[in-house]
Structure 1
């Protein structure tokens, strides 16, 4: 039977640890970890740089080191020379993940309920401000999506310099979808215009490399946040990338799903016992589609693959910059996707983009002026064998491909199966920086203590779990859609017509250790476990 646990914070401990950082001397001491490993003293000069790369709406198996057929040699080289986190979880959509990343708490605690006009709360200590306070130069290029007003921009949250898309999404090339009176981009807090002949992934990479070059020669380490908008819809690619996967997906998403599951199993990413037949999706069978629909959908997947391959190319550019500037060995690189693949199809039109003149003819797909998305079938193929896709609190919506690479991490393509969340990134990067979260006060303002736990020692081979059976990990996208994980158990509530969301029957129970595919609801067999987890959820909800 599960232990009923109510988290009790110990702010005096965090304050005491923060105080130790400012004792006289030239050393910085690593924070005390719950695994009891002896802290390591570092000098300012030995702290590594940190590069955080986040993909947007990328499926779990979309890079080669996680089972993909898409050529991603640069990402794979990093992953195979580091550690792959195969049980890493983000929120099921863009802004909530970014709120958790920046705060170390749940998205609701950080003030972000959804994806429309999200604004990061003032009651958290933001990751870049904490690293800035620890002596890091802090740079960002890419998608912010946590407030579009000047006072909500990355600059006010601790980035020394930034070039940011402050909206949920936009075109990847050509003209912006937003009219001139709507602010979509900001550079260092000021309204920014797009350059000529831009492509989003290239632009953001260019901007970050430019910022890093400007800082060369300084003694401070740096934190760089590269937040791509690829492969988020609308699916668009430069001319010389658009046709690289022509014909690759003509056999359809059912074939691709089986191929991906088989490769992922061979790589050791999923259990050897996983069967292609275990997966049950809701997309219609590929063979049931007419030939025109098949051609349109195959073309959409070709463009999606082009965006992933292009993203890998630009990751290679920044890696090459680090190597030629003699910074690669001094840089920790963390990569992950912000959620599972999107199941939206090409008929989808977001309310946040005020445009109606789309041309989705086959010949124009992938060009400026088209609005293409991969649809449910391909999304299921890129997240299988996990259940569901972006927007869902089932594993397919939240489990994300992730890896970390650095010389201090054992080489050989290690795979880590420990449960991790995007809330764990903040304390991990702080530990790498030789710092700690301040607890309940930061820069004279009250802040929330964090839920996340560092996985830095885990990445370097320490077997101690980051989260033990007492940790409570709540997830929430709305009052109707929620989940909670404790140890090997998970409850999920996704709105169902005619079901009282306050009743125990609204929740499903899964044993993740034996059923990570969430195929068998055990709430009827283990009502007491369900009830205890629901009680813990209600305690969390009441505290918001």
Structure 2
């Protein structure tokens, strides 16, 4: 009898200790994967000829975000993801940050990893930075990441990790704040391996935030030969190379999820996958049937590929049509882990967790300011009595409606090269001075029917909304290039120079 009581006491103690250990980390681990220049028509579940079995499986088990928007180019998406703020509120309204440009995401408000650290997270970044590095204060390890491995500029060679810009050449690879040399190792392999090491060495009792912005599938088009074999039927060389690069990335993501499983933390991991902008048609990417491509204000430039996966999701295997923007990840993830937004500048992102997870009908996001770029060359003539200068390059979404002003970029509908049809050149017959387009994106997602001449009331309403946003804009910062950034002065590496 005494022995039985003793055994029960031992089992009770073991049960209590086990639950205490398990309760050390009730917050989800977060794996945020950002693909570079990954087009709408480049993922399997959108009907692409490119095979993405791992991404398809993860998305199929999770929630596909089919009304999700990013920015048309690299720096803007990354800056808004990390800050939760529109470009007009960070001074990064124009273009990207070039390698020799003394510019960066402002230090005046904590970015996402800093807020997650406040909630007890171990924070790590592996891959492309591209939000400024001209001073040490702008490096990832100075901005909330416990560790960093990757490159600081916008693109480089996948094997040598070398970058040339405006006659300046150097290696762009860092381990934390120190230059690193991994010449000869394909970056998709390298970043996946470094990410796996972080997971393997992580203390599972502490929540993990792993930010993995892959180099893939940005130009230059480079990939190990074995990934080309499934695509020899694709005659277009760029498309074939691009497809191989996508497959290499898909494989790396599948391998990384296995590491999470082996570590025993996969069931408590939220995975977020997103592209940073539309595919680059000139480098093998494709966004068909969406209109336009990377760097344009058409849907092909910024209608993002995105999904979430995790055992904690209340809904699985579903599609979300809720309007969502890349700025929303900041407040959504901070709220999810029980954090607060104290100390931040006013955010433009909204907490979307209930909308995503529960499918609530009440979406806190009613509009998206895609951008207002005051430095882009004005186009055409100003509309009489317009509250906003419609010659300025800008775009805004309000409910079902999308308005574009100024010069939006190439607006062709371009099918993949394997489709035996010519690009739809309908857009080329528009007057060259045209600078206003209005679409009902819900009814016309491919932007075939401009109704700006019919719904002038909606045009004026949205121009007024642009004017209101513009009043809150900070001055655009786009400094001149600085010769002191030349790697020849910095030991042959790109890095802080001021």
Superposition TM-score tier, normalisation by shorter sequence: 0.7 to 0.9
> What is the alpha-carbon distance in structure 2 between the residues aligned to residue 140 and residue 174 of structure 1?
20
SS at match of 1:80: helix
1:172–1:496 CA distance, 2 compared to 1 (3 A): closer
Cα shift at 1:505: 6.8
Matches within 5 A, 1:95-110: 95-110=75-90
Report what 2:28 is aligned to: 48
Report what 2:206 is aligned to: 220
Instruction: Pick from 105, 113, 131 the counterpart of residue 120 of structure 1.
Output: 105
Cα shift at 1:229: 1.1
Cα shift at 1:488: 1.3
Report what 2:294 is aligned to: 390
Matches within 5 A, 1:112-191: 112=92, 113-117=94-98, 118-149=103-134, 150-174=136-160, 176-178=162-164, 182=170, 184-191=172-179
Cα shift at 1:506: 2.7
Matched-pair contact (CA < 8 Å) for 2:297–2:395:
yes
Q: Mind listing any 5+ residue stretches in structure 1 that lack a counterpart?
A: 1-41, 251-297, 345-372, 498-503
Cα shift at 1:538: 1.7
> What is the alpha-carbon distance in structure 1 between the residues aligned to residue 171 and residue 140 of structure 2?
14
Matched-pair contact (CA < 8 Å) for 1:82–1:403:
yes
Matched-pair contact (CA < 8 Å) for 1:134–1:435:
yes
Report what 1:404 is aligned to: 308
Report what 1:534 is aligned to: 463
Matched-pair contact (CA < 8 Å) for 1:455–1:466:
yes
Instruction: Pick from 197, 201, 216 the counterpart of residue 188 of structure 2.
Output: 201
SS at match of 1:240: helix
Matched-pair contact (CA < 8 Å) for 1:148–1:183:
no
Cα shift at 1:106: 0.8
> What is the alpha-carbon distance in structure 2 between the residues aligned to residue 126 and residue 222 of structure 1?
16
1:130–1:529 CA distance, 2 compared to 1 (3 A): same
Instruction: Pick from 281, 305, 325 the counterpart of residue 263 of structure 2.
Output: 325
Number of aligned residue pairs: 405
> What is the alpha-carbon distance in structure 2 between the residues aligned to residue 542 and residue 157 of structure 1?
29
Deviations 1:207-259 (A, max 9, x none): 11212222235x21010001101111111001322333112x23xxxxxxxxx
> What is the alpha-carbon distance in structure 2 between the residues aligned to residue 175 and residue 185 of structure 1?
6
Matches within 5 A, 1:344-359: 344=282
> What is the alpha-carbon distance in structure 2 between the residues aligned to residue 44 and residue 537 of structure 1?
47
Deviations 1:303-359 (A, max 9, x none): 100000010000011100011111110100000100100133xxxxxxxxxxxxxxx
> What is the alpha-carbon distance in structure 2 between the residues aligned to residue 411 and residue 474 of structure 1?
29
Cα shift at 1:454: 1.9
Matched-pair contact (CA < 8 Å) for 2:324–2:365:
no
Report what 1:429 is aligned to: 333
Deviations 1:488-518 (A, max 9, x none): 1111024289xxxxxx973211112211212
Q: Mind listing any 5+ residue stretches in structure 2 that lack a counterpart?
A: 1-21, 377-391, 410-432, 474-498
Report what 1:487 is aligned to: 399
> What is the alpha-carbon distance in structure 1 between the residues aligned to residue 408 and residue 248 of structure 2?
39
Report what 1:91 is aligned to: 71
Matches within 5 A, 1:239-250: 239-247=225-233, 249-250=234-235
Q: Does residue 335 of the first structure (1) align with residue 270 of the second (2)?
A: no
Matched-pair contact (CA < 8 Å) for 1:161–1:211:
no
Matched-pair contact (CA < 8 Å) for 2:199–2:259:
no
SS at match of 1:302: helix
Matched-pair contact (CA < 8 Å) for 1:82–1:409:
yes
1:472–1:316 CA distance, 2 compared to 1 (3 A): closer
Cα shift at 1:64: 1.3
Deviations 1:150-208 (A, max 9, x none): 22111111100011210000011245234997462222122222x14311111111111
> What is the alpha-carbon distance in structure 2 between the residues aligned to residue 450 and residue 50 of structure 1?
21
Q: Does residue 522 of the first structure (1) align with residue 451 of the second (2)?
A: yes
Cα shift at 1:425: 0.8
Matched-pair contact (CA < 8 Å) for 1:66–1:401:
no
Report what 1:475 is aligned to: 371
Matched-pair contact (CA < 8 Å) for 2:161–2:172:
no
Cα shift at 1:410: 4.3
Matched-pair contact (CA < 8 Å) for 2:38–2:217:
yes
> What is the alpha-carbon distance in structure 1 between the residues aligned to residue 42 and residue 365 of structure 2?
30
Q: Which has the larger radius of gyration?
A: 2
Instruction: Pick from 356, 370, 383 the counterpart of residue 459 of structure 1.
Output: 356
Once the two structures are overlaid, the 10-residue window that deviates more, 303-312 or 520-529, is 520-529
Report what 1:450 is aligned to: 347
